[in-house]
Structure 1
């Protein structure tokens, strides 16, 4: 059974999953990892979601303020053995719901072109590719997305 918990970046399960994410991305990003890693610090993130299967933490994601009407989706990760089971989609949906509860109407995110599973997750869940924003402008490996949400 999958359960979802809202928490913050001090949560030990989130910290553990992010450590696994960072190890995975160090391999996938190669030489560019240090550039990307500087934008992925997790101190003081107030909006974190952790998914559990039978009380084991298996997936996570977070949102942080991006602009006056948007949150940026960060630190999405699912343990390899639990991929393809819809868990990441549930985490993403919970983050979008939380964004709406905060009276914001859009989520944006950046992912890597070397992460086709992530790209499929976002496009399957209604995200549209947009020009790279902020620090990702000019980064060949980056691809940025947004999703307009219905305000609650």
Structure 2
């Protein structure tokens, strides 16, 4: 059974999953990892979710305020042994629902072009490619997405 828990960045299960994510990204991002890593500090994340499958933490995600209407989705990860079970979609929808409850209108996010699974995942979940924002404006490997919440 899948259970979603709302928490913050001090949650040890969230911290452990983010460490697995960072290990994966170190390999995928290669030389660019340090650039991306500077924007992924979890200390600022107050809205995090952890997914539990049969009481084992297997996925996570978070959002932070981007402006008065937008949140930025951060630190999405599903452990390799739990992939293909719709966990990431459940986590993403939980984040979107939570942000909508707080009166945000849409979410944005950045992912790397080399993260092919992530790119197709966000497209499948109705995210549209938008011009790169903020620190990703002139970054060749970055793709930025946006999704307006349904009312």
TM > 0.5 fold call: yes
Q: Is 1:9–2:12 an aligned residue pair?
A: no
Please, which runs of 5 or more residues in structure 2 have no aligned partner? none
Return the alpha-carbon distance in structure 1 between the equivalents of residues 10 and 86 of structure 2: 25
Q: Distance in 2 between matches of 1:105 and 1:121?
A: 21
The TM-score normalised by the length of structure 1 is 0.97
Task: Name the count of aligned residue pairs.
Answer: 151
For residues 117-136 of structure 1, the aligned pairs below 5 Å read 117-136=117-136
Deviation at residue 68 of structure 1 after TM alignment: 1.1
Tell me the equivalent position of 2:67: 67
Task: Give the distance between the partners of 1:80 and 1:129, measured in 2 at CA.
Answer: 26
Partner Cα distance (1:4, 1:68) in 2:
26
Shift in Å, 1:97: 0.1
2:38 matched to 1:42? no
CA separation in 2, counterparts of 1:117 and 1:15? Answer: 23
1:82 corresponds to: 82
Alpha-carbon distance in 2 for matches of 1:49, 1:21: 15
1:96-142 CA deviation, whole Å, 9 max, x = no partner? Answer: 00010001110000001111111111111110000100100111110
Following the alignment from structure 1 to structure 2, what is the Cα–Cα distance between the partners of residues 34 and 26?
A: 8
SS across alignment from 1:33: helix
For the aligned residue pairs, the C-alpha RMSD in angstroms reads: 0.7
Return the offset for 1:85. Answer: 1.1
Structure 2 counterpart SS, 1:110: strand
1:83 and 1:141 map into 2 onto residues whose CA distance is: 24
Equivalence map 1:13-24=2 (5 Å): 13-24=13-24
Runs of 4+ in structure 1 over 4 Å off = none
Aligned-residue offset at 1:44 = 3.4
- Deviations, residues 78-104 of structure 1 (Å, cap 9, x unaligned): 011111110000000000000100011
